[in-house]
Amino acid sequence: MTAPANPSEAMPYRNANLAVDVRVEDLLARMTIEEKLGQLNQNAVDRSLTSEQALETWSGPVKAGKIGSFIVGPSGPALHNRLQRIALEESRLGIPVSFGYDVIHGYRVIFPITLGLACAWEPALLERAQSLAAREARRSGVDWIFAPMCDLARDARWGRVAETCGEDPYLNSLCTAAQVKGFQGSNPAAADRTAACLKHFVAYGAVTGGRDYNHTEVPESILRQSHLPPFHAGVKAGALTVMSAFNTIDGIPAAASHHALTEILRDEWGFKGFVVSDWGAIDEMVKWGYAKHGGEAARLGIEAGNDMDMISGHYLNTLPAQIQDGLVDQKTIDTATRNVLRVKFQTGLFDRPYTDESVNAFAEPIAQADLDLARECVVRSTVLLKNSEDVLPLSKNLTKVALIGPFGADRREMLGSWMGYGRTEDVVTLAEGIAAKLADPAQLRVVLGCNVNSTSRTITLTDGTIVPDENAEQADELQELDKATQAAQEADIVIMALGEPCGWTGECASRSSLGLTGRQQELFDAVTLTGKPIIAVVFSGRPLSLPVVLEKSAAVLFAWQPGIQAGNGVADLLFGDAFPSGRLTASVAREVSQVPVYYNRYKTGRPSPLSTDYRDLTRNPQFWFGYGLTYTTFAYSPVEIVPATKEHPATARASITNTGKHEGHEVAQLYIRQLACSHAVRPEQELRGFQRIGLRPGETAEITFPLTGEVLGYWGREGKWHIDAGDYHIWIAPQAQSGDPELLCFH
């Protein structure tokens, strides 16, 4: 018998001209049960290992076909290629491994955290940022990105608020779809794209008490109305993978939720990709007290529809015996393997498995266009919350400026909790950004003031370990306080760079308070005593509650964790080279005791403030979702409802005028309320549209929103979209809870 001239004739799965499903079935038919389970097993390349050590550890299991995917460390394409070569040339069937990584807000070019990016209210900007991140990641050998995060952020104590797009399902859905497009483009196999991963399915944002990894108490009606829509939007946008969450859903760990992973994701939504568990979540079923042991956890996970086991190893180690004993059906394993292989074909791993090592994402200086995008993102995501007497923008001819606070000259803090392969040396600090604007940079005095927290500075590693940050500058706090007040006294204007350390945000970093950390409040109070005007720039991974800072500063900007162009972007705003246009995507609580606080809350049967407020505090936040100032002002006309005709749906219309002296962008927001809904009570207000418009002083624009069933309807608890005839309130407003509604009678 002569060997076929072309190996793909003998192995059709290697033939790039065949349809993906044909290739998947051909390969599946050749696989042993162990090889199938290998595809469902994900390990991590330990960051502390050298490449040689990593190879020594992993080449055996890869050769044996026991690893379908790696979470990568800072290893780069050379190590990936070497591991891939073993997979392709030394394993029996030559199935490539996939390399996944958390590229949450940038790979090397670090953008503002997602919470900040969402404040641009411009999904296309998120798409651009994530497509740059995908390009850099893929060039470094990463073919799968564990983002976008689709969880809702309604409790600012939860550290992972930083990774979300805020509290609203509609905005979150648009941002999710845009990010999926950014990562995957139209062809996830392209050399500059990756697979996306919608996480964490589902309701992780509802962890009780804002404590990470906690259980959730989310009834089906709210799951449907609020938590599921962003994931649904991501599935519709073509996301290839989904990550199940750490939390429980109605008492069941998410990785074992047949309801979420099979009934909703696959049966209702038709999802064709694969589901990976979160880190060790299969094993955590045992710790929850749900499964008796790892074997049972593996069975519950795979049967629920969780295809891949991240880290715990229970699929690989326990399922062969369970299949043999008839406890787990082979067909279940085949389905999961099919799902994983399909994505590997779709991301081009079989046809272009290696990464070009000559393109090193770190060797080159960052391209100017990429820096410009990162700077634009800082400008767009920063939210101006206060600007008394138009103290901003500042003049570049100021003679004496004091920049006080632990975030003014810090590089690491600008990168945020996830930082990809971001480097501190790429960061432009606020001090550098301001100095570059001043006619005489020597007039800038920079004082640390205090440390970011009261103990020593720490950073949280991806595995959750907290270690001292050796690069952090430590202040001698007593001396610094004196220096700060003296600098303030001598200055014409004081810019204070305050906030919370990035190690207190992100995963495993919930907080019980929402104020400034360490001695920053003391520092702020001391500086206010000098009577000098203060511009507060706040760096944080969550909407902090800062009533005193808000009251006593002349201007306040929330700049989040802005990434490598932090200093340039914020300075552009401070000195009027750009105008602020960011809008909050998470309401700002007055005090931590108010959380969870969000605009799309429920009315209660006794909605009057007397009944629903606290005795000692309003229930309303300090700033509503959607709020944000710019350097000009806008006036809205009353909303007008134009009735439906045979050809067109009803529309809501309003005109907006720039009544100030500067050019600006307004984000006009459409809110609705269904006045009576007997299926399940609907929120007090729901965002269902928005438009960003640029207006010069004196200019007016008319905006319209069609009031279609898509705008007015809602998800019922049985998973159906309902559109009810009846009465609705309609607002077109600059933020939630403002403006007068108009009545729409929808029939």
Q: Which residues are catalytic?
A: 278
* Least spacing, CB of residue 21 vs ligand BGC, in Å: 28
Residues 6+ apart with CB under 8 A from 720: none
Among 102, 370, 426, 666, binds ligand BGC (CB under 6 A): 102
Instruction: Kindly report the backbone phi and psi dihedral angles of residue 246, in degrees, each rounded to the nearest multiple of 5, phi listed first.
Output: -80, -30
Closer of 44 and 642 to ligand BGC (Cβ):
44
Among 107, 279, 350, 599, binds ligand BGC (CB under 6 A): 279
Closer of 71 and 264 to ligand BGC (Cβ):
71
* Least spacing, CB of residue 462 vs ligand BGC, in Å: 6
Closer of 260 and 597 to ligand BGC (Cβ):
260
Closer of 279 and 558 to ligand BGC (Cβ):
279
* Least spacing, CB of residue 279 vs ligand BGC, in Å: 4
Question: What is the Cα–Cα distance from 284 to 210, expressed in whole angstroms?
Answer: 19
Joined tokens for residue 454: 């009261």
Question: What is the Cα–Cα distance from 147 to 638, expressed in whole angstroms?
Answer: 40
Q: Does 413 bind ligand BGC (CB under 6 A)?
A: no
Q: Does 575 bind ligand BGC (CB under 6 A)?
A: no
Question: What is the Cα–Cα distance from 604 to 612, expressed in whole angstroms?
Answer: 8
Which residues between 449 and 488 bind ligand BGC (CB under 6 A)?
A: 462
Which residues between 50 and 89 bind ligand BGC (CB under 6 A)?
A: 71
Concatenate the DSSP letters of all residues of 127-187 into one string: HHHHHHHHHHHHHTT--EE---B------TTSGGGGGS--S-HHHHHHHHHHHHHHHH-S-
Residues 6+ apart with CB under 8 A from 125: 117, 376, 377, 380
Q: What is the 3-state secondary structure (H, E, C) of 570-628?
A: HHHHHCCCCCCCCCCCCCECCCHHHCCCCCCCCCCCCCCHHHHCECCECCCCCECCCCC
* Least spacing, CB of residue 593 vs ligand BGC, in Å: 28
Which residues between 531 and 550 bind ligand BGC (CB under 6 A)?
A: none
Q: Does 715 bind ligand BGC (CB under 6 A)?
A: no
* Least spacing, CB of residue 366 vs ligand BGC, in Å: 25
* Inter-CA distances, 90 with 83, 84, 391, 546, Å: 10, 10, 67, 59
* Least spacing, CB of residue 341 vs ligand BGC, in Å: 21
Bridge partners, 667 (sequence order): 692
Among 507, 572, 666, 686, binds ligand BGC (CB under 6 A): 507
Which residues between 117 and 156 bind ligand BGC (CB under 6 A)?
A: 146
Which residues between 353 and 392 bind ligand BGC (CB under 6 A)?
A: none
* Least spacing, CB of residue 46 vs ligand BGC, in Å: 13
Joined tokens for residue 61: 């299991």
Q: Does 107 bind ligand BGC (CB under 6 A)?
A: no
* Least spacing, CB of residue 709 vs ligand BGC, in Å: 35
Residue closest to ligand BGC when measured from CB atoms:
146
Q: Does 283 bind ligand BGC (CB under 6 A)?
A: no
Concatenate the DSSP letters of all residues of 64-110 into one string: TT--SEEE--TTHHHHHHHHHHIIIIISSS-PPPEEEE--SS-SSS-
Q: What is the 3-state secondary structure (H, E, C) of 274-313?
A: EEECCCCHHHHHHHHCCCCCHHHHHHHHHHHCCCEEECCC
Bridge partners, 727 (sequence order): 745
Closer of 462 and 704 to ligand BGC (Cβ):
462
Q: Does 519 bind ligand BGC (CB under 6 A)?
A: no
Closer of 15 and 462 to ligand BGC (Cβ):
462
* Least spacing, CB of residue 73 vs ligand BGC, in Å: 11
Joined tokens for residue 161: 């608020």
Closer of 443 and 462 to ligand BGC (Cβ):
462
Closer of 27 and 103 to ligand BGC (Cβ):
103
Closer of 165 and 378 to ligand BGC (Cβ):
165
Q: Does 196 bind ligand BGC (CB under 6 A)?
A: no
CA atoms within 13 A on the CB side of 406: 30
Q: Does 199 bind ligand BGC (CB under 6 A)?
A: yes
Number of residues forming the site for ligand BGC (CB under 6 A)? 8
Host H or E run for residue 117: helix 114-118
* Least spacing, CB of residue 596 vs ligand BGC, in Å: 20
Closer of 281 and 578 to ligand BGC (Cβ):
281
Evaluate whether 126 touches 149 at the Cβ level (below 8 Å).
no
Q: Is 652 helix (H, G, I), strand (E, B) or coil?
A: strand
* Inter-CA distances, 305 with 152, 257, 273, 390, 560, Å: 23, 8, 11, 56, 37
The pairing of beta strand 444-447 with beta strand 248-249:
unpaired
Instruction: Enumerate binding residues for ligand BGC (CB under 6 A).
Output: 71, 102, 146, 199, 278-279, 462, 507
